[in-house]
Structure 1
Amino acid sequence: MTTSAVFFRQPAWVRVVLATVFVTLVNSAALAAGCGPVFQSGRHDLKIMSDGVERSAVYFVPSAYDGKRKMPLVFDFHGSNSHPDGQMNRSHWDEIGEREGFIVIALQGSLDGSFKGAHAWNVPGVKPLPGVSEENGLDEEQFIRDAVAYAKETFCVDPTRIYATGYSGGGRMLSQFICNGNSEFAAAGFMMGLRAGYPEQEEGVWRPRPDTCKPARPISIIAFSGLKDDVNPFSGGGKPYWQYGGKVAVGRWAELNGCDMKPMTAEGEEISVSSYAGCKNGVGVMSYVIADAGHSWPSQKLLFQLASTDNQPSREVDATGRMWDFFQTSGGGLLAGQPGQAGCPTAKNASLDSTGGQGNTCNQPLGSASSEPAVVGDL
């Protein structure tokens, strides 16, 4: 006998009580998930208690937020000697969130930066930079976990579509957070800061130390690097926390995700992209290398052409928009679907001989990959 049959065989007063209890439980679950309350749209300051300490953050709510429809959420991690507002100004995740309909939260690292109002992350296994105070270094991993839990309880968010991105030191923090077995994020994006564990040297070659990166599960990764980055050099070297290069880090994540280790590539005069297929759980690993970019978030003038899909025609997006598109394809949820297409990188108004599908080559020489100037000392 079905549950519905049992229900309707009860006396009328019993059915009313059971229905009331059911509705109450459903409503309570919705409220507990943060659905119901409506928040003012725009960017706002936020305080979150973590390990007995009040921590700072900034959050953005799009105008489409109504407290009823569960929205995706993107965490945006600032670089060293920066802060949440500065990072959101750099990445403009709030602009993408307003257009696409999702919430953004930028957390603040616990270390004081080398100048007033600046902050840095207390990255596990990394000593603070010269001039950065260690006195207030806190447990950043606990803070991130608490922030995710707070967001789930406070806002109406889809728990399977919570993503994170990090710039420079924020990328290093995010990398180690995932390496240490935390599974809060469905996918992650990195700008000039992807790591895959602590660096170690073996027979004169630098590599990620295997025992310092043990993610809880396969996770989709997209990374952007600049060949003119003299802070976190793509080829390796640099500060003690860096050493192995960006290509090694991407390859290690492909290995950790169980991907085919021979990437498909698309190359242009100024930008190249590598995409690893066949990864476990349908996740994806993708790397963009920009020839003319230094240590900065790419300018909104630098666009990436995406191939057409059943839902949308081919279009151009900037680096932040490219991350968002990647999250919706390779990182669509905790159990992701098929990896997304690589997309051909292109300078604005350049024409291409290919639609830029995965594994194709961009035959048209690309224009200058200009970047916004980096903030001095922002690592």
Structure 2
Amino acid sequence: MFTSAVILSLLASVSAWTYPSPGCSNGAGFKLDSTGRVNRTLPSGRTYLFHLPGAYNASNGAHPLVLSFHGAGGTSANQERLSQFSQDGLLINELPIIAAYPQGANNAAENRTGVWYSAPYYNKTVDDVQFAKDIVTDIQNAYCVDRIRIYASGKSNGGGFTAYLACRPDTSVLFAAFAPVSPALYPESLAFKGCNPARAVPIINAHGVLDTTIPFAGRNDTNGTYGVGVATINVPLWRRQWAIRNGCKTDVPAVQTNPYPNTTEMIWRCNTTFQAYTVSNLGHSWPTTGALDASGAPNNTASFNLTSPAMITFFDVNPLPFQYIPGYKA
């Protein structure tokens, strides 16, 4: 029989396992500016902002990668600022984070800038899913990326797209875990029917109760702010349905606490974990103590920073199981 010490030791060794990308052996890297950034243009013509942490060192091992998708009308640069994934000192599996901030496509037909699939106003002439995959491939070939520690996050329309990526058979096994923040959960996001992940999916989510752009309780189709007939889905119901989808026999959370002022945390632990933060005094903003996300103003200051420690900790304990890496043999 294993002792507690042996079990903890085994868990620690498993958490340290990595699956290196091609760039670990032959990655040439990108031409970066003095801050470790570059705006990359892919062969498709799509662009993303790339950030390499100053402490990156391929000889230390394969590094985690986080993609973060901005909201409708947003920019990759603004998403970097509010999500803080380029902040010094953030570690997953004890290594610094490589970060990518994709730029959404414009939809001139509906006078929309920077939008993603999963919303009624997305640009139907581009393939946002393939764009996300292309970014991952581009970075994996240039740098030493841990293929079991690639994560997707996003805000608003980008959060809805992140939720959609969690629902797909292919992308649910490309990304290890998902972090939709104030997600725009339109019917097109497949938040309910049509959601078909290849596995139980780890998700961390946050939403402000004072959000008037993507209301916490959902919205009927009479509001024309984002297009006639555009409804959004009830967030608490979406959370509970994910818990059932992930194997829970009940939609009642296993844990409910108040870890920060004005914040309720709910956790469902079944075949995997769904962790949710409900912030009572927050509007349509990524939770930060510094009011970094102006879109929820004047209610855009939280009592905690969602990215660190909550999101980073969640990512850290949720690597992708090895069997989902193409070509993996036990």
Length-normalised TM-score, structure 1: 0.64
User: Against the structure 1 CA distance between its residues 32 and 269, is the aligned structure 2 distance closer, same or farther, given a 3 Å change threshold?
Assistant: closer
Task: Give the CA RMSD over aligned residues.
Answer: 3.1
- Deviation, structure 1 residue 33: 5.0
User: Against the structure 1 CA distance between its residues 116 and 332, is the aligned structure 2 distance closer, same or farther, given a 3 Å change threshold?
Assistant: same
- Contact kept, 8 Å, 2:68 with 2:102, in 1: the verdict is yes
2:320 to 323, 329, 333: 333
* C-alpha distance in structure 2 between counterparts of 1:72 and 1:174, whole Å: 18
1:320 to 307, 310, 317: 307
List runs of 5+ in structure 1 lacking aligned partners: 1-28, 201-207, 303-315, 337-379
One-letter identity of the residue aligned with 1:213: C
Give secondary structure in 1 for the equivalent of 2:320: coil
* C-alpha distance in structure 2 between counterparts of 1:162 and 1:146, whole Å: 13
- Contact kept, 8 Å, 1:199 with 1:244, in 2: the verdict is no
- The answer on 1:145 being equivalent to 2:133 is yes
2:263 to 271, 281, 296: 271
One-letter identity of the residue aligned with 2:279: I
* C-alpha distance in structure 2 between counterparts of 1:250 and 1:145, whole Å: 26
Length-normalised TM-score, structure 2: 0.73
- The answer on 1:236 being equivalent to 2:238 is no
Give secondary structure in 1 for the equivalent of 2:57: coil
List runs of 5+ in structure 2 lacking aligned partners: 1-19, 222-228, 292-302, 324-330
- Deviation, structure 1 residue 241: 4.8
Aligned to 2:294: none
Give secondary structure in 2 for the equivalent of 1:93: coil
* C-alpha distance in structure 2 between counterparts of 1:61 and 1:168, whole Å: 25
Q: How many residues align?
A: 273
Higher relative contact order (CA 8 A, sep 6+): 2
Matches within 5 A, 1:71-110: 71-95=63-87, 101-110=96-105
1:215-271 deviations in Å (ceiling 9; x for gaps): 121111000000000111111115555432111111111111113532021137611
1:11-54 deviations in Å (ceiling 9; x for gaps): xxxxxxxxxxxxxxxxxx975556554555622111122xxx21
1:96-118 deviations in Å (ceiling 9; x for gaps): 56666110001111224899994
- Contact kept, 8 Å, 2:186 with 2:230, in 1: the verdict is no
One-letter identity of the residue aligned with 2:196: K
* C-alpha distance in structure 2 between counterparts of 1:199 and 1:146, whole Å: 21
Aligned to 1:223: 205
Aligned to 2:280: 291
User: Against the structure 1 CA distance between its residues 152 and 199, is the aligned structure 2 distance closer, same or farther, given a 3 Å change threshold?
Assistant: closer
* C-alpha distance in structure 2 between counterparts of 1:173 and 1:166, whole Å: 7
- Contact kept, 8 Å, 2:151 with 2:178, in 1: the verdict is yes
- Contact kept, 8 Å, 2:107 with 2:121, in 1: the verdict is no
Aligned to 1:168: 156
- The answer on 1:247 being equivalent to 2:247 is no
Q: Which has the larger radius of gyration?
A: 1
* C-alpha distance in structure 2 between counterparts of 1:175 and 1:325, whole Å: 19
